[in-house]
Chain A
Amino acid sequence: MASILLKNVVKSFGSFVGVQDMNLDVVDEEFLVLLGPSGCGKTTTMRMIAGLEHPTEGEIRIGDALMNDIDARDRDVAMVFQGYALYPNMSIYENIRFPLRMRQVPKAKHDDLIRRAAEMVELGPFLDRKPGALSGGQRQRAALARAIVRQPQVFLMDEPLSNLDAKLRASMRVQIKHMQRELKVTTVYVTHDQIEAMTLADRIVIMNKGVIQQIGTPDDIYSNPANTFVAGFIGSPPMNLIAGTAQNGTFSSAGIRVPCPANLSGNITLGIRPEDCQIGGDNLQGQVYGVEPTGDITYLTVRTANKNIEIKAGREFRAPIDSAIAVGFDTSRLYFFGEDGYRVGVN
């Protein structure tokens, strides 16, 4: 159990910079999620914490100890890989046992520890099988069991659920969170799935192109996105981002007029979440482009001259395509972003 500190960490591959000047402080026992699109440097960051990749610049600390020159095998870190990386020639039992053997845990304790770890992920009946004879979900749990068997200081999980189907993913999500709470091991979890990030994280780190965009609790990131990237990445569907101009306390774009802080002017991007719009009102005039009932919510897409706007309407809402529609915004929940993409007009 330990904190993790990254200080001005840079990782370049030749002239390509994979991770740029990263500063990150993972608190002891925290569940931290690295979230970002594919290729943004999440795996690289995690591999640096594990010691599988060496930072080009900067410091990495686990607990208080500087890790830069410590080999992966000597860091007390357990990692779950995206492809599970189970040893194909060993049974699941031997797979889970491997870290115990490597770390010179006394032999007498092995069986007990292995069975307890397998119990935790409900893998008991499969211990004698080879990885090849397990389903994706079982392999996934075997990889988890191998990571938890020796109570490490830090868990690292690299998209552990990305190869599972949606239903299994949801149940494994709960299982992982429960397990982390129980074991109280500091965890860094990588994903490109914002639902996973929102549900699992104590804090989320949003990355793009090797740069941290925002660090905060799920609530914080949802209700106070720092820039258009974060706003457009979080939420399903994500926040509507509408380019327009602000003048004299009014933001306008094709078909849209809303009040905005008087100090804003020039090119501004308006952000409004789909659930903060309601049918009827005078902020948006457009045509119905599509109506998608899903049972509890109906998704409505409204076309304006510039852009399609996503709206969450009530479950009963129906409208013919191309009919004119007027929409109102909850004006207390408007977001404005400047030309650099960062939030403006916040008091």
Chain B
Amino acid sequence: MASVRKSGGDNLLVRYIILVSWAMVCLVPILWFLTIGFRPRTEIIVPEPIYWPTWSLDAWRLLVSDWPIALYLRNSILAVAGSVVIDLVLAIPAAFALARYEFKGREDIGFYILSTRMMAPAIVAVPIFFLFKNIGLLDSVWALMLIYAAINLSLVTWIIRSYMLDIPKELEDAARTDGAGDLTILWEIMIPACLPGIITAAVIAAIFAINEFLFTLLIASTSKAYTMSVALANFTGGSDGVIYNAIALVSFIAFAPILILVILIQKHLSRGLTMGAVKG
């Protein structure tokens, strides 16, 4: 660092140019997409480029009046948030046990849990459909919540476990000699100490869940349980043809919650992703 600073402003300028260019490459498609959503329909598909588009809220008005977007958003948020909560409640104690307790077949169980992630989802699609049909949970947000939780549980457990492995064992030993039991150690020592990992796992699970398509399509047979991902796929803008500006707007709305989430926790996330990556 020091040597870079010493070598003067030129170097810094070059760095900024590179970084800003890269940021543009990443951001421009998203921003461009967003502008489509706020342009009139007549300006979306035209033979000549339009450099100074007119702004309009047509697409937004169309959405609000013709399309139950609030319901879909609510479904998405409920199913995703619920699934993440279920995952954390189940994964944190499991991760603690896998990271700290010595028991027979510990490594095998750990790997077995992860291996459920490697299976192609289509294999279990049909059994899952009948399972939920039999328990009467078809077309329900609760079913989606359970399915998302099940899909992500292994990954969440694995990420949190690798975090817990990085917490010095001394910390736990100290708590034990201070008189703490297992639950206290988990609650007061381990969870705060690996909070970045837990947040990372939760965000990754939320991203997977919000993008989940196959099972949602299977379970949500009417628009009652549609989430943004499925509703988006079915959305063409209404009865008079494909309305691209409305589609763009919906896509952006679907994408916004994750964006906000990631921005809020990005400090934890970058650390969490690399840590989870290097640890087995």
Interface residues of A (CB under 8 A from B): 47, 50-52, 71-75, 77-79, 81-83, 85-89, 98-99, 102-103, 146, 156
Closest to A79 in B: B177
In the complex formed, the residue of A with least CB distance to B191 is A89
**Minimal beta-carbon separation of B168 from chain A (angstroms):** 6
The reply to whether the CB of B184 lies closer than 8 angstroms to some CB of chain A is yes
A306 to chain B, nearest CB (A): 45
- Inter-chain CA distance A240–B256, complex, in Å, is 76
* Distance A3 CA – B177 CA, assembled complex (angstroms): 18
Q: Tell whether, in the assembled complex, residue A102 and residue B192 are in contact, meaning their CB atoms are under 8 Å apart.
A: no
Check B180 against A102 for contact (C-beta < 8 Å). Answer: yes
Tell me the complex Cα distance, A78–B173, Å.
11
B193 and A72 within 8 A (CB): no
Task: Please give, as numbers and ranges, the residues of chain A lying within 8 Å of B177 by CB-CB distance.
Answer: 50-52, 72-73, 75, 77-79, 156
Q: How far is the CB of A44 from chain B (nearest CB, A)?
A: 13
Number of interface residues of B (CB under 8 A): 18
Say how far A296's CB is from chain B's closest CB, in angstroms.
40
Which residues of B does A touch, CB under 8 Å? 168, 170-171, 173-181, 184, 188-189, 192-193, 195
What chain A residues lie within 8 Å of B181 (beta carbons)?
A: 73
> What's the nearest-Cβ distance from chain A to residue B174, in Å?
4
What is the bound-complex CA distance between A54 and B173, given in angstroms? 13
When the two chains form their complex, are residues B174 and A81 in contact, meaning their CB atoms are under 8 A apart?
Answer: yes
Bound form: Cα–Cα A85–B176 in Å: 12
Instruction: Return the contact of B178 from the options A47, A82, A88, A98 (Cβ within 8 A).
Output: A98
B contact residues around A73 at 8 Å (CB): 176-181
The docked-state distance in angstroms from the alpha carbon of A51 to that of B178 is 12
Query: Could you say which residues of chain B place their CB within 8 Å of the CB of A86?
Result: 174
In the docked arrangement, what's the CA distance between A102 and B185, Å?
A: 11
Find the residue from A51, A77, A85, A87 having the highest chain B CB count within 10 A: A85
User: Are A85 and B192 also in contact (CB < 8 A) when A50-B177, A52-B177, A73-B181 are?
Assistant: no
Contact, CB under 8 Å: A89 / B179: no
In the complex, the answer to whether A52 meets B176 with C-beta atoms within 8 Å is yes
Contact status A52-B173, CB under 8 Å: yes
Residue of A nearest to B178 (CB): A99
- Tell me if B170 and A81 are in contact (CB < 8 A): yes
